Amino acid sequence: VPGPKANELEVSIFGPGYGESILIHIGNKSWIVVDSCVDESKQPAPLKYLKSIGVDVKTDVKLIVVTHWHDDHIRGISNVFRECETASVVFSAALTPKEFFTLAETYKSIPSLASTGIQEFSNIISMLGRKKDSFKFAAADRILYRQEATIDGGKKTIQVSSLSPSDMNIERSFHQISKMIPKDGEKKLRLPSLNPNNVAVALWVQIGDERILLGSDLECDNSDTGNWTVIVNSSLLIDSKAFVFKVAHHGSPTSYNPMVWNRVLGPNVHAMLTPFVNGPHKLPSDDDLNRIAGFTKNIFVTSRPARRKYRHPDNAVQKRLEEMASNLFVENGNFGHVKLRKEIDSNREPEVELDGAAFQFSR
């Protein structure tokens, strides 16, 4: 399969049913990776795809963004970081107490207190010492990558900026960390919770005149000055509207802010999303998809929010399995890939290709 041409942008989104990873070709063989997930063979989906289209990940991946440290966004991310040797890695400036103390303990060379949930974070942190100047904190209105490129003989500005976490949430994370440091005679406190979805990194990608909004899992945070309202008012978003939106938090109502759709996104924006399935929790719901359909007819989902049942080819074995467990599912078995390509700054419509379990939603 050929990769995108030098003058084409690509937005690819991968989802195995539980997990999400996004790749963007920003022109001239340069790529950015946003989060990571694994496929059925447990390989990081973004690496496998890039290699399949002949990309040299060592040199051509410029930026890796870890939007937040939830399991469904980081599987395989330390492998991505290891193989993409020249890329910078970005993560939220608002660390949760768990991440903060993992970072602090790495500096002290003390074995980490980390649970498995934070292992990928710990792996990356321990690699940072070997890759000098290769990490950046994301925060509202911060330029993470900028380059003047010549595409089709014309000069284009390529820029990737973070739109979150907000200053208020960074301050909140400092406060939570400070609560963890015991005063004399006090017992160490339990880790307070800071929802990583409230400090997730949303991104604004500019490629010439093209604009792409990646919503990560950023939720609204239930207030008038919630996360998405802060973003809608960001000075970075004044000049133009996005034609692609990676819908925030798998289309959940808690991440929905109509101002985003009315003011930041263009008409019939290409909305791309992955499902989230964890026990009884399933996103997006039919209501979520219908809400999105009120804004655009271009809705692409990597798979239905359902798990694929496992069936052993041998009936006797299958019967025995059913005696042991009522329901068996294939891990990462609902894998889909949505690929959008567009000639940069041309009037031609984007082309969308669907692989695996991916589908276009229509009412």
ω before 267 within 30° of 0 (cis)? no
Work out how close the CB of 64 gets to Fe ion at its nearest, in angstroms, rounded to a whole number: 17
Tell me whether residue 7 or residue 197 sits nearer to Fe ion (CB atom).
197
- Residue range at the interface with Fe ion (CB under 5 A); choices 88-96, 144-152, 209-217, 224-232: 209-217
Site string for Fe ion, 131-160 (x = CB under 5 A): ------------------------------
DSSP-H helix ranges across the chain: 45-52, 57-60, 71-74, 77-83, 97-107, 119-128, 167-179, 227-232, 258-259, 286-293, 315-324
| Residue 8 identity (one-letter amino acid) | E
For 35, what's the count of Cα atoms within 13 Å in the CB-facing half-sphere? 29
Residues 234-273 binding Fe ion (CB under 5 A) are none
Structure tokens at 120: 């990928």
Site string for Fe ion, 61-100 (x = CB under 5 A): -----------x----------------------------
> Using CB under 5 A, which of 217, 219, 221, 343 touches Fe ion?
217
Tell me whether residue 217 or residue 219 sits nearer to Fe ion (CB atom).
217
Work out how close the CB of 274 gets to Fe ion at its nearest, in angstroms, rounded to a whole number: 8
CA distances from 49 to 17, 71, 225, 301 (A): 17, 21, 39, 18
Tell me whether residue 19 or residue 226 sits nearer to Fe ion (CB atom).
19
The C-alpha torsion from 152 through 144 and 228 to 15, rounded to 10°, is 70
Contact between 35 and Fe ion by CB under 5 A: the answer reads: no
Report the C-alpha gap between 266 and 272 in whole angstroms.
14
Contact between 210 and Fe ion by CB under 5 A: the answer reads: no
Contact between 343 and Fe ion by CB under 5 A: the answer reads: no
The footprint of Fe ion (CB under 5 A) covers: 72, 217
